[in-house]
Amino acid sequence: MGGPGSLLDLTPLTEVSGLYAVVIGLIALQWLLRTGREARLGYLPRVAWWAVPGLALLLLTPTLDVPALFGLGVAALLLAEYWPLPYRRAPARPSPAWPLVSVLIGAAPAFGILQNQRPEPVAFVAALCALLAGMAGLLGVVLYPAKGAAARTRPSLNFQTRWHRTVTPEWPDLSVTLSEQGAHLKNISKRPVRLAGWSPAGINAWYRVRGPDGQVLSELRAGQEALLPVGERDSGVRVWYGPDKAQEAHLFRADWTPLGRADGRVLN
């Protein structure tokens, strides 16, 4: 991956082209921005830390001329991005001690290696990883909500809600009626509910809740209906939602006998 664009005079990674370095830099920047957004909601990296060794493996692939490292690096990045709950909720603002130490451990050797006439690429990549991890840790410290409880007052409802602990209320806030168009989800409570997503029963799926006009709904007002496009073989739905200012996500369950198995559908 060398050539005219190689960073021969800029870094110890003499086999890394300029374009390749820019792409890796953009991936690292995107990860830091994602970490910052999660920190504002009170979440800190958990499985998401795999992005750091993933980027390191991508940098070392052309330097060590081991193509297998590229696949391992991509796998680590995918794990950090798409694993369920890559970020964990932090009960309190984290300490800045280890991020500061990590930044110093990364910055000092990296600067020293750059000044060395015979730099070590592996040591340089390790220093960059320590610097990146320290920067992510500092983002968690700086951007964590000023009032930790505020992050829990109105939790974010998204795909991660599916994997959080949920509450099934004794008296449901929602109801379902069936028609040829699908399942009509109605808010039968006296308050609006925030919607996360839904899935047909028995299927590991995730869909956004939409209105009859096809628009995505993030909230269902009292008496308002949404349309869940279920099929003839579907036997129920699961809807993840949260009443206003609820501490935990709620799960609504509705089951029926599919049309293909009986003359009529019976709601449970």
Question: What is the three-state SS of 155-223?
Answer: CCCCHHHHHCCEECCCCCCEEEEEECCEEEEEECCCCCEEEEEEEECCCCCCECCECCCCCECCEECCC
Number of folded domains that form the chain: 2
| pLDDT averaged over every residue in the chain | 81
Euclidean distance between CA atoms 49 and 51, whole angstroms: 5
Domain that holds residue 229: 159-255
Tell me: do 94 and 197 sit in the same domain.
no
Mean of the pLDDT values across residues 134-142?
Answer: 92
The CATH number of the domain holding residue 214 is 2.60.40
pLDDT at residue 110 is higher than 80: no
Mean pLDDT of 77-93: 84
Residues 131-151 have a mean pLDDT of 81
Residue 192 has a CB neighbour count (10 Å cut-off) of 15
Q: Which residues contact 123 (CB under 8 A, 6 or more apart)?
A: 109, 113
Pair 134, 181 in one domain: no
Higher pLDDT: 117 or 69? It is: 69
* Whether residues 57 and 72 fall in one domain: yes
Q: Is there a single domain that holds both residue 122 and residue 236?
A: no
21-55 pLDDT, tens digit per residue, is 889 999 999 999 999 988 888 888 989 999 999 99
Domain end (from 137, 152, 167): 152
Residue at 266 is within a domain? no
Name the residue with tokens 């993933």. Answer: 54
Task: Check pLDDT > 90 for residue 240.
Answer: no
The answer to whether residue 11 is domain-embedded is: no
Indicate whether 96 belongs to any domain: yes
Per the listing, tokens 């060398």 go with 2
pLDDT in tens, 211-237: 888 888 888 888 899 999 988 888 899
Residue 245 vs residues 152, 169, 257: alpha-carbon distances, Å? 9, 15, 35
pLDDT for res 6: 42
Whether 54 and 127 share a structural domain:
yes
Residues 69 and 34 in one domain: yes
How far lies 169's CA from each of 202, 243, 251, 256, in Å?
21, 11, 8, 19
Quote the pLDDT of residue 107: 85
pLDDT over 70 (residue 2): no
Q: How far is residue 94 from each of residues 42, 44, 139, measured CA to CA in Å?
A: 10, 9, 10
Split at pLDDT 50, 70, 90, the class of 63 is confident
pLDDT at 3: 45
Q: Answer yes or no: do 142 and 177 share one domain.
A: no
Residues 38, 135: one domain? yes
Q: In terms of domains, do 99 and 140 share one? A: yes
Q: Say how far apart CA 101 and CA 108 lie, in whole Å.
A: 11
Domain boundary among 101, 126, 152: 152
Residues above pLDDT 90, as percent of the chain: 31
Picking from 104, 136, 152, the residue at the C-terminal end of a domain is 152
Q: Same domain, yes or no, for 148 and 166?
A: no
Identify the CA nearest to 181 among candidates 141, 137, 229.
229
Question: In this predicted structure, what is the pLDDT of residue 167?
Answer: 78
